[in-house]
A and B are shown apart, each in its own frame.
Chain A
Amino acid sequence: MAGDIYRKPILFAIASTGMILVGTIVTMVYPMLTPDMHPKMEALKPFTALQLAGRDIYQREGCNNCHTQTVRPLKTEVMRYGEYSKAGEFAYDRPFLWGSKRTGPDLARIGGKYPDVWHYRHFENPQAMFEKSNMPQYAFLKEVKLDLTKVESHMKANDFPFTTSEIATLKDRTEMDALVAYMQVIGTSVRKKEVRAVAEASTRSREKNPFAGDKKAIELGRKLYADNCQMCHGENGKGDMGPSLADDVFFGVKGDLADDDYYEVINNGIEPGMVEEGRIAKSSMPSFKGTLSREQIWSIVAYIRSLQGK
């Protein structure tokens, strides 16, 4: 009698458990047994001790309450943040840190977006860079040294490869160092910036700035520079976290490069190891592909040239 079940609590409990287990098995247990749920990118490496310590701090501070770490395969989202997230990028993430609220921007592609020094300044005082940012200040992380016994036990728990001498080198590193190291590795198993081979560079046809010397373009470039570049390259391009743009040094080598080389680094951004006309970059700069149009980038180049007195 089906009606009996409302008089038999144990039977009722078993029936309820059975009901909840059906969906559980199909959508949670079964997938876990398939390789689909355990993919790994070829370029993905386990976290180093410093990076893992940074990740622990990320968890401790609840950064995931404001930041997501997954780019959806939507056009504007890829424009804003970069290549959409792949399942195989997260094989070492215990737990996943995709988050559910973007009070701040997504961080899935933050690795290599900025130079280290940018992160140090930003963590110390986000409001100094973005006046009304609601991100808390994390200056105290600079004062706290890593606890190496914890670092070691955390590496062990994750079964990540490490050596005791590697851990020992972290003796004087602060929590801020660790957090920055973690930032710089997030999302880097997927190539995001176009790194062009040197050979190709020498054979391509050169493009000239269509706005070279144009007064209106230079004025527009100046405004765009103030909004997008000044934070790193300083007033009038005299240099700050990024190098001077007013001099004739490019990627640390003397001798200026052509307009289209400028166009390219602004468009694609820079990451360490990137080669431009045989010169190798050491640091990072964000890509402006999604946020600046072609005309706008050329206007900025015109403005930079005006700073150089060209």
Chain B
Amino acid sequence: MSDYDYDHETVRGFVLSSVFWGVVGIVIGLWISVQMWSAGWNIAPYFTFGRLRVVHTNGLAFGLGVGAIFGISYYILMRLTKRPLLFPVLARVQLYVFNIAIALAALSLFLGMNQSLEYAELEWPLDIGVVILWVMFAVNVFGTIIKRKEEQMYISLWYVIATVVAVAVLYIVNNLSIPAGWDKSYHLFAGVNSANVEWWYGHNAVGFVFTTPILAMFYYFLPKSTGLPIYSHRLSIIAFWSLIFAYLWTGAHHLVYTPLPDWIQTLAIVFTIFLIAPSWGSVINGYYTVGNDWSKMQTNYLTKFFIWGITFYGLQTVQGPTQGLRVVSQLIHYTDWVPGHVHMGTMGWVTMTVTASMYYIIPKISKTDLYSVKIANTHFWLVLIGQLMFSITMWITGIQQGALWKAVSSDGSLKYTFYETLIRNYPYWQMRTIAGVIFTIGMLFFIYNILMTIRKGKALTASQG
């Protein structure tokens, strides 16, 4: 037994839990994608689109996303502090609480307990559960860092620390509410103010759940798997501080042309454009790191996951600011363009980077090699194709929708009824379902690979033991 075995088991537990909830979330993603072109797939009352869509988003953001963040951050933490976790049992308890909380969360959303705040749909009793989980995480992160055996804190630790504090502030403030029974509450903030608080939270949930912790993984695993050092330390410093500074100003770009006071919208748009700089700081750092030896793209299978992942992050952070501009927003806001944008980030950047990190970790803690690099490559190409097809079809139909809504006949009246604009989406929504199936098959290859690696590790230990 090494000092790390117990903690590694916890990490593996988080990885497997994250993957499990990922599958649940993705299957529901497929289901709602079908409901969007065939209403017969709704099963009232529990499985209608309105209820399932939030199970999809929460299942993936909190189940796949946060599960992976917990597990992978703990792994990174141990390597960078050169010691086991300070509170190993607490981390194990956190693993159990995490799974119970996600199961209850899914159940409560099926039942229709919903605060109607995007990415903060969970009702107040579950919010308390989430806060408890986060405190457990914070205690271990800070405790372990304080007692570290390595003087300097590497870049990844900066991003983990920023994630811990930012999510705590965001989550608690936006979930402040007036309870009305155990299953219902009303936002403490009303009207325009409620909108402003929610999108201050909502956009930064993207920033501090789908960006900073994923960058922590990127900065750790890219050099590890390629053996190449990060190109510029100074660039990392500038990118980090300017990113966490600028993010918090930008929420109102989700509220362009709403009754929110104009100055808040404009300020948000300005900072949104600025955000390209720190985002691309990391993108450039990634490219130049591998730029020292591009042959890694062929010789090391993980390199392409990270490089394509950061490429999608780069595209995402150019597309996002563009969407914030008023001229663009008035065309694409409220259309399918937005899910196209979202899934380039979640499927292309987040899932790509997270699965690659798991490919790195699982063989390491199973004390063996990956079961099959070939399967990993198949996984890579399938998710890449699935994601591109998803995003591209949604961009096309999104622009079409926006244009049809605005179309005016020569006599000055609107050219299309809403219903006409709706059914024109159906062919694209059907293609999206196919894209989702391709992506899902890719993910199944991934899971098989991970499970077989764990099994191989177990067989090896057994034969040695």
State the A residues within 8 Å of B (CB).
Answer: 6-7, 9-10, 12-13, 16-17, 19-24, 26-28, 31-32, 36-39, 56, 59-66, 68, 70, 72-74, 76-77, 79-80, 85-87, 89-105, 126-127, 130, 132-140, 150, 153-154, 156-158, 290-296
Q: Which of A12, A32, A95, A157 contacts B180 (CB 8 A)?
A: A157
Bound CA span A93–B192, Å = 9
Q: Which of B166, B185, B255, B406 contacts A76 (CB 8 A)?
A: B406
Q: Does B112 contact A (CB under 8 A)?
A: yes
> Is A16 touching B249 in the complex (CB atoms < 8 A)?
no
Closest beta carbon of chain A to B134's beta carbon, Å: 14
> Is B248 touching A20 in the complex (CB atoms < 8 A)?
yes
**Residues of B close to A133: CB separation below 8 A:** 39, 419, 422
**Residues of A close to B169: CB separation below 8 A:** 17, 20-21, 24
**Residues of B close to A13: CB separation below 8 A:** 142, 161, 164-165
Bound CA span A90–B191, Å = 4
**Residues of B close to A102: CB separation below 8 A:** 334-335
**Residues of B close to A140: CB separation below 8 A:** 44-45
> Is B50 touching A23 in the complex (CB atoms < 8 A)?
no
Q: Which of B39, B161, B186, B330 contacts A12 (CB 8 A)?
A: B161
Bound CA span A126–B44, Å = 14
> Is A62 touching B257 in the complex (CB atoms < 8 A)?
no
**Residues of B close to A103: CB separation below 8 A:** 36, 422
Q: Which of A9, A27, A93, A132 contacts B423 (CB 8 A)?
A: A132
State the B residues within 8 Å of A (CB).
Answer: 35-39, 42, 44-45, 48-51, 53-54, 112-118, 142, 145-146, 151-153, 157-158, 161-162, 164-166, 169, 178-181, 184-198, 200, 241, 244-252, 254-255, 257-261, 264, 267-268, 271, 330, 333-335, 338-339, 405-409, 411-414, 417-419, 422-423, 426
Using CB atoms, name the residue of chain A closest to B243. A19
Q: Which of B49, B258, B414 contacts A134 (CB 8 A)?
A: B49
Bound CA span A274–B260, Å = 32
Residue of B188, B259, B339 ringed by the most chain A CB atoms within 10 A: B259
Q: Which of A85, A150, A294 contacts B411 (CB 8 A)?
A: A294
Q: Which of B117, B244, B264, B413 contacts A296 (CB 8 A)?
A: B413
Residue of B145, B165, B264 ringed by the most chain A CB atoms within 10 A: B165
Task: Given A27-B249, A139-B44, check contact A65 B54 (CB 8 Å).
Answer: yes
Bound CA span A127–B117, Å = 29
> Is B48 touching A28 in the complex (CB atoms < 8 A)?
no
Using CB atoms, name the residue of chain B closest to A101. B334
Task: Given A92-B190, A136-B44, check contact A61 B51 (CB 8 Å).
Answer: yes
Closest beta carbon of chain A to B169's beta carbon, Å: 7
Bound CA span A296–B410, Å = 13
Using CB atoms, name the residue of chain A closest to B187. A95
Besides A37-B193, A80-B414, 14 more A-B contacts (Cβ < 8 Å) are: A7-B153, A9-B145, A31-B196, A39-B192, A60-B113, A61-B48, A76-B406, A79-B408, A86-B259, A95-B115, A98-B195, A98-B255, A132-B422, A133-B39
Using CB atoms, name the residue of chain B closest to A67. B50
> Is B196 touching A28 in the complex (CB atoms < 8 A)?
yes
> Is B50 touching A62 in the complex (CB atoms < 8 A)?
yes
**Residues of A close to B50: CB separation below 8 A:** 61-66, 136
